[in-house]
A and B are shown apart, each in its own frame.
Chain A
């Protein structure tokens, strides 16, 4: 077990190193002079020389590369060109919002997917199963940001139940924080629920036909006990992996959904930085999202190896 975790951990470190290398070369891949691109109309040879010095672009590439990794190891992602704020400060503020919504959306996804997916499998071929199946198709096919717009239209504009815009930190009260989280979380959670629901249904169908479920029924166990204690537990094991993988889609969808709700999370920070050609912020933001994604998958892999011991010996 320890060996498996160490192996996965080394792999994750290797992937993070690779991501950091890709992000390092991102700035160097900008066509023409990246400094001229960043300065835009404010370009003067003096300003360019100063910025080049600040970013360390006046040094040989191997020195830049070594410094880049040295800085990352110390948690220093440079300074924003537009606001001169440290990139880590900008990202820390934004990431807390994005992660709150991501976790909430993830939770909504599971709360919807597990019971409906299970019921759809138990009622295979019925109207309920067909409706659930069509709903998953619709959920996967529509972009999360569109759900965001529609939810604002229904729950904020028409019904006036929930706030349509912004984010309130938890320090200003749990209810205001939660109220602002519901609509963006639901918008991002619908797609997540649709993806997970398909796997829960498929997993349940497979498990329900297995010998041990038949044995459990033959022993005279109550149907609820058979479903919850025997079938569901095993059916959900592969769903853990899918949940980890779907995190990318969730974060991806969320960076756009944040714009709909005017939340200054990672997505909004990235988009603004792209418009401002603020490359240190773009690089820092993208690297951090990749880091979160790799770590989330590392946790999922380790969790999965606990749930299914065959993985560690595979």
Chain B
């Protein structure tokens, strides 16, 4: 009889626990919805973010449709060598007689792909490290964060160069190299936030009713660190684009036959006295793109009221 009571009590406890967990998830979702509405209101009010978003959207369209918008085949060397900017060639021609405007348009795609994919990879790896380190603390935190400290001692581009030295150049390796170099920022930012979130009432409540660690991290903690993550992703895309152009400029980046901004700048070095346009236009394309991303990231940071994320 007593055993039946205990079993019934345990079953009731489990049911209550499950109901409480569901309610907790509902509350978390309601909270997120409210936060989402507030975010859109703030974003609309933040001119910088809106301007940045507009430019980034415009550039994303060029990245997608660039090859179709280009007036000439970017690889065709059909024109006069080193012809200055004109109506026919708004950015002039390069030392092989190729239309620079077409090459800059097509190059947008490469830069965007490298920047976005590298940022997403860094985000996934960095956030996982940050959440796990911040949530478990103790030796897990020590091991993971000391490793991050060690990686941090290598300037990003040096780390990327080291990885290219090991695995060779090429688009895939450049993306991975840039991603690894940017993992550090994500893990540090997220860990800092998770350390305080794990002590919050909603996390304690979830733990008390027996919600598993994985679920707490995924459903309760992660959504609450999404704001700094979004801001960091935006800024990392810009950093990734600069790193890609730098590596390609050095000859350690994507395949030289692919039209890219870094490649165009590399070629400009040999003709700096004869053809200023070769250096100026690809540089302005990089500057405009990264500036748009920084404007958007900075505006987002203000709209989301995020602290501790910057371009340094």
Contacts and interface: CB of A to CB of B under 8 A. Distances in A.
A146 B162 contact: no
Contacts of A15: 149-150, 153
A151 B288 CA distance: 19
Contact of A252 (B155, B164, B291): B155
B272 A152 contact: yes
Contact of B155 (A21, A31, A289): A289
B126 interface: no
Interface residues on A, range: 35 or more
Contacts of B157: 252-253, 255-256
A137 B250 contact: no
Given A19-B150, A150-B280, A143 B242 contact: yes
Contact of A271 (B146, B151, B250, B295): B250
B312 A242 contact: yes
Interface in B272-312: 272-273, 276, 279-280, 283, 286-287, 290-291, 294-295, 298, 310-312
Interface residues of B, number: 44
B290 A141 contact: yes
B311 A140 contact: yes
A249 interface: yes
B96 interface: no
A249 B311 CA distance: 10
A273 B153 CA distance: 21
B166 interface: yes
A260 B250 CA distance: 9
A274 to B, nearest CB: 4
Contact of B153 (A164, A242, A294): A294
B161 A141 contact: no
Nearest to B167: A31
A251 B155 contact: yes
B287 A259 contact: no
Contact of A256 (B249, B273, B311): B249
Interface string A162-203: 001000000000000000000000000000000100100000
Nearest to A282: B165
B246 A256 contact: yes
A294 B250 CA distance: 26
Contacts, number: 133
Nearest to A19: B153
A21 to B, nearest CB: 8
Interface in B79-137: none
Interface in A14-29: 14-16, 18-19, 21-23, 26, 29
Contact of A22 (B150, B286, B287): B150
A273 B164 CA distance: 12
A282 B156 contact: no
A19 B154 contact: yes
Nearest to B181: A252
B290 to A, nearest CB: 4
Interface string A244-271: 0110110111011001100000000011
Contacts of A157: 272-273
B269 interface: yes
Contact of B251 (A149, A275, A279): A275
B147 interface: yes
A142 interface: yes
A249 B155 contact: yes
B238 interface: yes
Contacts of A22: 150-151, 154
A137 B293 CA distance: 10
A121 to B, nearest CB: 17
B287 A142 contact: yes
B82 to A, nearest CB: 15
Contact of B245 (A143, A290, A294): A143
B283 A146 contact: yes
Contacts of B272: 149, 152-153, 157, 164
B158 interface: yes
A122 interface: no
A142 B290 contact: yes
A29 B151 CA distance: 16
Contact of A146 (B165, B265, B298): B265
Contacts of B276: 153
B250 A252 contact: no
B162 A249 contact: no
Nearest to A34: B166
Interface string A274-301: 1101010010001001100110000000
A161 B238 CA distance: 34
B250 to A, nearest CB: 5
A17 to B, nearest CB: 9
14 contacts: A19-B153, A26-B166, A143-B283, A146-B265, A149-B272, A157-B272, A249-B156, A251-B158, A252-B156, A252-B158, A253-B246, A271-B250, A286-B154, A293-B155
